């Protein structure tokens, strides 16, 4: 159950870190939002039999990374790093202030979504690529995927971004305003299904005239530190 290509929260924004270990400015730290489950809101492939436990959407911090990777492995399998979207994420960190996780009442990480900085064509404007979005298979109909999507879109708009692109199931992402209408002249840097390449304009006309292959522009991730001193 997933589908793109996508402890309790920290008590203070000053403690939150960007993926890669960098401190996040307090003004950029996303607030947490409690959710009690959204009836009918499902990530593609989710069932309808599970209960809807309470969960919270918070900014991702450095200590979430291992649990996030384990979740993605369970949901998407070993082939996830071969997707065309991965070429735009490899060696980069998410767009500042735009990496989120969902945690259950016990502090367990049960969902994740990130947005990445990309450029449209060789000399085009910068925009965002969303993904992967993933939710714990054991919580298939708790509304977690829907809550993560809405929070990510709202935060991207609040931070002044003009548009979001993603590769995913059109019927599902249409509920958030995504469609293939604005992507006809754009392309991913690798194999992908054209009908699944979707966009949402956060400001009118943000994708007007945009064309070309997406290229990564995000900040580069810092090399992992050696466990032993040199």
**How confident is the model at residue 18, as a pLDDT?**
37
Q: Peptide bond preceding 132: is omega within 30 degrees of 0, i.e. cis?
A: yes
pLDDT interval class at 228 (50, 70, 90) = very low
pLDDT interval class at 169 (50, 70, 90) = very high
3-state secondary structure of 225: coil
pTM of the model as a whole: 0.76
pLDDT interval class at 5 (50, 70, 90) = low
Strand partners, 102: 57, 111
Q: Are 161 and 128 in contact (CB under 8 A)?
A: yes
Which residue's structure tokens are 């992507």?
183
> Which domains are seen in the chain, by residue range?
13-216 (3.40.630.30)
Residues 29 and 173: their CA atoms lie apart, in Å, by 26
Residues 120 and 131: their CA atoms lie apart, in Å, by 17
Each residue's pLDDT tens digit, 19-69: 444 444 333 334 444 443 322 223 333 333 334 458 999 999 999 999 999
Q: Are 32 and 7 in contact (CB under 8 A)?
A: no
Each residue's pLDDT tens digit, 131-157: 999 999 999 889 999 999 999 999 999
**How confident is the model at residue 176, as a pLDDT?**
98
Neighbours of 180 (CB within 10 A): 15
For residue 109, report the phi and psi dihedrals to the nearest 5 degrees: -75, 120
List the alpha helices (DSSP H) in 52-200.
65-76, 86-89, 144-158, 170-173
Residues 19 and 91: their CA atoms lie apart, in Å, by 12
pLDDT interval class at 80 (50, 70, 90) = confident
Is residue 92 over pLDDT 60?
A: yes
Q: Are 141 and 54 in contact (CB under 8 A)?
A: no
Q: Are 130 and 172 in contact (CB under 8 A)?
A: no
**How confident is the model at residue 141, as a pLDDT?**
86
Q: Peptide bond preceding 116: is omega within 30 degrees of 0, i.e. cis?
A: no
Average pLDDT, integer, range 1-19: 36
Residues 171 and 58: their CA atoms lie apart, in Å, by 26
Is residue 225 over pLDDT 60?
A: no
**How confident is the model at residue 53, as a pLDDT?**
52
């Amino acid at each position: 159950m997933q589908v793109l290509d996508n402890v309790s929260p920290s008590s203070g924004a000053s403690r939150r870190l960007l993926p890669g270990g960098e401190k996040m400015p307090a003004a950029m730290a996303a607030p947490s939002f409690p959710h009690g489950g959204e009836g009918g809101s499902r990530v593609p492939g989710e069932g309808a039999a599970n209960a809807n436990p309470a969960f919270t959407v918070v900014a991702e911090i450095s200590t979430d990374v291992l649990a996030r990777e384990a979740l993605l492995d369970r949901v998407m399998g070993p082939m996830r790093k071969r997707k065309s979207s991965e070429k735009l994420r490899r060696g980069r960190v998410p767009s500042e202030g735009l990496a989120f996780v969902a945690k259950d009442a016990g502090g367990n990480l049960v969902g994740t979504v990130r947005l990445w900085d990309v450029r449209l064509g060789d000399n085009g404007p910068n925009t965002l690529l969303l993904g992967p979005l993933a939710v714990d298979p054991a919580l298939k109909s708790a509304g977690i995927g829907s809550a993560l999507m809405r929070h990510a879109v709202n935060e991207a708009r609040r931070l002044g971004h003009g548009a979001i692109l993603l590769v995913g199931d059109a019927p599902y992402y249409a509920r958030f305003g995504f469609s293939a209408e604005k992507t006809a002249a754009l392309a991913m840097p690798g194999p992908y299904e054209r009908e699944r390449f979707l966009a949402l304009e956060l400001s009118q006309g943000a994708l007007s005239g945009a064309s070309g292959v997406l290229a990564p522009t995000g900040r580069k991730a810092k090399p992992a530190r050696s466990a032993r001193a040199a």
